[in-house]
Amino acid sequence: MGTVLVTGCDSGIGRAFAEQYAAAGYAVVATYRDLAGRLPDRPGMRHLALDVTDAEQFAAARAALAGEPIDILVSNAGIGLDVRRLGDLDFAYVQRMLAVNTIGPLRLVESFVDNVAASRERRIVIVTSAMGAIGANLSGGHYGYRASKAGLNAIGRSLAIDLFPRGITVVMLHPGWVRTAGGSPDAPMTAAESVAAMRDVVRRLGNHQTGGFYTYAGQPMPW
């Protein structure tokens, strides 16, 4: 097995990714906005501070992993709860969503692309959302969140094109409606169920699927 780096392991989907890949025998680099909420220590798992809006923390994480291959880079860290309507928008929060959800993943890939290229599996997984599908927007609202995820999808597509010559496969995955802090207690899936399905998609990925936008079950999503 190789090495997996996961962002946003403080809770929910990121935590489940770290736990499941570790259980499957991968060496896991779990990153957190707040190390106080880190997972319990276990063989093969390391913990790093990484706020995806903090350039200095990216530099420190890159230095800590200098030259180490990363087989699967999972960009998961994100924020949501974008519920205000037109006329009552919190533009500071909209900017923060763009910083975390859109710019953060791009900085992540730029920081660790050489590590991924040096690995055997060479896969980049971007956890996005159906809310970023412009063609599927029939209800409006959620301006910041929708824009942040649509922008993330555009970035992922460009990354796939630019990194294809290096043998790197990039995929965007919608995790479904999940019972997390950013989801709902009424959601039909647990984080563990969603992640198990996404890991299966990642395991089966072919190079011809690079740049694709899929559900957690591997079904193509509209742009």
**Cα angle for residues 197, 198, 199 (degrees, 5° grid):** 90
pLDDT of residue 83: 85
Q: What is the pLDDT of residues 138-192, one digit of tens each?
A: 999 999 999 999 999 999 999 999 999 999 999 999 999 887 766 667 778 899 9
Q: Would you name the residues annotated as active-site residues?
A: 145
pLDDT of residue 180: 72
Range of the domain at 201: 3-215
Q: How many domains does the chain have?
A: 1
| CATH number, position 143 | 3.40.50.720
Q: pLDDT averaged over the chain?
A: 95
Instruction: Report if residue 27 sits inside a domain.
Output: yes
Q: Which pLDDT does position 99 carry in this prediction?
A: 98
> Long-range pairs for 197-200 at CB < 8 Å and ≥24 separation?
198/17, 198/125, 198/127, 198/173, 199/17, 199/20, 199/21, 199/24
H or E, element range at 51: none
Q: Pick the closest to residue 182 from 102, 88, 97, 107 (CA basis).
A: 97
Match 């923390």 to its residue by tokens.
57
Residue 220 lies in a domain: no
The residue ranges of DSSP E strands in the chain, in sequence order, are 3-6, 27-32, 45-49, 72-75, 123-127, 169-174, 212-215
